[in-house]
Amino acid sequence: MDDHKKLKPRHFFDGDAKKFVRGKVLRSDAGAAEGVYDPFGLDVETIVSTITFLLFMYRFYFRVEVHGIENIPDAGPGLIVSNHAPILPFDACMIGVAALVEPEHPRFVRTIINKTISSIPFASTLMSRSGQVIGCDENVRLIFENKNLMLVFPTGAEGRVHSVITHRYRLDTFPVGFMEYALRYRTPIIPACVTGSEESAMALGSIPLPRGGFRHFPITPIFPWLGPLGLIPFPSKFDIYFDPPVDYFTEHAHEVDNPAKVRPLVDGLHDRIQAMLDGALGR
């Protein structure tokens, strides 16, 4: 079986889906082998189980539709830049699953995560075993040297707290860091956007926390009122859009150390992704 669309719900219980995911992971560029850990701690067993669960969500819960999957390159490094919805990162998971199961050549996406996650019990272990990466220069260099795909959410932790439901699909200003990496390591940028993610967890507001990387405690119609159950997302329909890769580095690689020159590029990309979002939402 090589098409995930043929998978029926029962396949997720009799092991066929797991076999399908295992085949995709081993054929992908994750650099994974059974029983061997990669530098980031990626473990095949963990990602196969995690992605099988996420594929179920992808197919039957969020009913993801992908537009422009041909824009994911068959090989070589790439930097996917997308919008991000608050609370749990299901948008990141769905982009990762899409890049693995949809194209002919499966790609394994490494998401840049907030360093605070590494001090949260269980989450830190899960992120490490599934090959997700804390954003710092050495890690980014390693990803691009291995010619992997990297996913960043430039609005990140700060942007998420502002993206309450009244502010949905409005991007905050991007920082310049990711564009500097793209220029320094000569990597094309793939603009992407996800719709439906904001409705799956409707953040009504947040309470500022005194310390730590997550400086805000989110409030939704069901969280924290229902406890951990309140973190279950609503089954809204996801749409993922990929635009053709944009090559910034041939023209601008020499400007990498000049933030004043990088800033307009970042703002241009911001406007482009905002336009993609507006187009996708029809507003």
| Contact region with another protein (CB under 8 A), list: 110-118, 153-161, 174-182, 199-207 | 110-118
Q: Is residue 122 a contact residue for another protein (CB under 8 A)?
A: yes
CB 111 within 8 A of CB 220: no
Choosing from 23, 31, 41, 235, the residue that interacts with another protein (CB under 8 A) is: 41
Choosing from 134, 161, 179, 203, the residue that interacts with another protein (CB under 8 A) is: 134
Please give the size of the binding site for another protein, defined by CB under 8 A. 24
Nearer to another protein, 40 or 169 (CB): 40
Least distance between another protein and beta carbon 31 (Å): 13
Nearer to another protein, 40 or 61 (CB): 40
Q: What is the dihedral of CA 119, 121, 126, 129, to 10 degrees?
A: 70
CB 43 within 8 A of CB 82: no
Choosing from 40, 58, 169, 248, the residue that interacts with another protein (CB under 8 A) is: 40
Q: Is residue 214 a contact residue for another protein (CB under 8 A)?
A: no
Q: Is 246 exposed, middle or buried (0-12, 13-18, 19+ CB in 10 A)?
A: middle
| Contact region with another protein (CB under 8 A), list: 5-13, 15-23, 112-120, 226-234 | 112-120
E strand intervals along the chain: 65-67, 78-81, 109-113, 133-134, 149-152, 189-195, 205-208, 216-219, 239-242
Which residues within the stretch 135-194 sit at the binding site for another protein (CB under 8 A)? Answer: 136-139, 142
Choosing from 8, 27, 115, 237, the residue that interacts with another protein (CB under 8 A) is: 115
Residue 249 and residue 52: Cα distance in Å, rounded? 36
DSSP 8-class letter at 228: G
| Contact region with another protein (CB under 8 A), list: 39-47, 158-166, 188-196, 259-267 | 39-47
Cα distances (Å, whole numbers) of residue 253 to 141, 145, 269? 16, 17, 16
Residue 32 and residue 111: Cα distance in Å, rounded? 16
C-alpha distance across the termini of the chain, in Å: 39
| Contact region with another protein (CB under 8 A), list: 19-27, 69-77, 116-124, 247-255 | 116-124
Choosing from 39, 205, 244, 268, the residue that interacts with another protein (CB under 8 A) is: 39
Q: Is 67 exposed, middle or buried (0-12, 13-18, 19+ CB in 10 A)?
A: middle
Instruction: Please report, as ranges, the residues that interact with another protein according to CB under 8 A.
Output: 37, 39-41, 43, 115-116, 118-125, 128-129, 133-134, 136-139, 142
